[in-house]
Amino acid sequence: MHPGAWFVWALAAGAVAVGTTNPFYLVLLWAVSWTVYALCRRDNAGGDAWRIFVVFGLIALATRTALVFFGPVDAGSVVAAALEGLRLATLLVVFGTFNAVTDPFAVLRLAPRRWHEPALAAALALSIAPRMISAAGQVREAQRLRGIKVRKLAALPAVVVPVLATGMEEAVTLAESMDSRGHGRGTRTRYRPQPFAARSFAVTLGAFAAAGAFVALGVAGSGDATYQPWPLVWPGASAWMVLAVAALALPAAVPSGPREGGGAG
């Protein structure tokens, strides 16, 4: 699949997540993301990092919910906070799926020149996450061998300090390597641009239509897209909007024909 198609898919899924606090749609979007991840993931570190995005999502959910207890509390405000946390968590999972199915740097190469720097920063951040995750595993193991109890809070520096130091060193190495190889000189050409095949076209159109329909229906006020838990009753859901969210699983359904020549997708 063309990285551009994945980019549109991620934007569409992100728009749906941002556009609702209804738990039915959000949970369905989790399931859709997981399906796409499971069937389309690439066999590399980016794919392995998906779980970490899920963990971060759960942390965001817990933190957002906990924050509400610092003010006046009623059942509705706890549910509302939890749903906002769920929305954030869903966004992270969508992001993690995007990271797992495509190469962030392949997407970076599509960015128009004026957007190159912010896109580069995003791609670097994404590529460093999986590296730091594997570094954390190695450091924990080595410190455990020294008899340092890595599970205790007091031992946190023993893991965090080396991981950050290694992460910084690797980021510098990557930045140096990119600069040494002419990154940021301005004029760019594309090596073997990947054809935008029928599958990519279908996914792009499908994602665009699904998100468009979802947001339009939500704005029109149907299907409880923005759910207010006062009074605390179950929200409704529109069959059409459920269908629109489910349609985002399209990339998992289109056959993943033979690998094309260029691009990593």
Partner 1 sequence: MSDAVLFEGVTFTYPGAPAPVLAGVELELAAGSFVLVAGPTGAGKSTLVRAVNGLVPHFSGGTMSGRVSVHGRSTTEQPPRRLADLVAFVPQDPGAAFVLDRVEDELAYVMENLGVPGAVMRRRVEETLDLVGIEHLRDRSVTTLSGGERQRVAVAAALTAGPRVLVLDEPTSQLDPQGAEDVLAALQRLVHDLGMTVILAEHRLERVLGFVDVALACPGDGRVVAGSPRRAMDVLGSGPPVTRLGRRLAWDPLPLTVRDARRRAADLSLVPPAAGPPAAGEVVLEARRLRASYGERTVLSGVDFTLAAGEIVALMGRNGAGKTTLLRCLAGLHAPASGTVSGRVGPPVAGRDVALCPQTPESVLFRDTVGGEIDATLGAHLGGQGRDGVLADFGLTGLAARHPRDLSAGQRLLVATAAIAATGAGVLLLDEPTRGLDLEAKERLCAVLELKAGRGEAAVFATHDVELVAELATRVVILAGGEVIAAGGPGEVLGDSPVFAPQMARVFGPGWLTPEQVATALGVEARA
**CA 253, CA 39: separation in Å to the nearest integer?**
9
**CA 43, CA 176: separation in Å to the nearest integer?**
27
Q: How far is CA 74 from CA 57, 92, 231, in A?
A: 24, 27, 11
Q: Is 107 in the site for partner 1 (CB under 8 A)?
A: no
Q: How far is the CB of 190 from partner 1 (least distance, A)?
A: 6
Name the residue nearer to partner 1 (CB basis): 209 or 264. Answer: 264
Q: Give the interface size with partner 1 as a residue count (CB under 8 A).
A: 55
Amino acid symbol at 192: R
Element (H, E) at 213: helix 198-219
Site for partner 1 in 130-149 (CB under 8 A): 131, 135, 138-139, 141-149
Binding range to partner 1, per CB under 8 A, among 18-26, 61-69, 165-173, 203-211: 165-173
User: In the structure, how many helices (H) and strands (E) does the chain have?
Assistant: 11, 0
DSSP E strand boundaries for the chain: none
Q: What is the DSSP secondary-structure string of 38-59?
A: HHH--SSHHHHTHHHHHHHHHH
Q: How far is the CB of 161 from partner 1 (least distance, A)?
A: 4
| Binder among 72, 181, 221, 239 for partner 1 (CB under 8 A) | 181
Name the residue nearer to partner 1 (CB basis): 135 or 252. Answer: 135
Q: Is 117 in the site for partner 1 (CB under 8 A)?
A: no
| Binder among 184, 195, 212, 257 for partner 1 (CB under 8 A) | 184
Q: What is the DSSP letter of 201?
A: H
What residue ranges bind partner 1 (CB under 8 A)?
A: 42-45, 103, 105-106, 109, 131, 135, 138-139, 141-149, 157-158, 161-162, 165-166, 169-170, 172-193, 259, 262-264
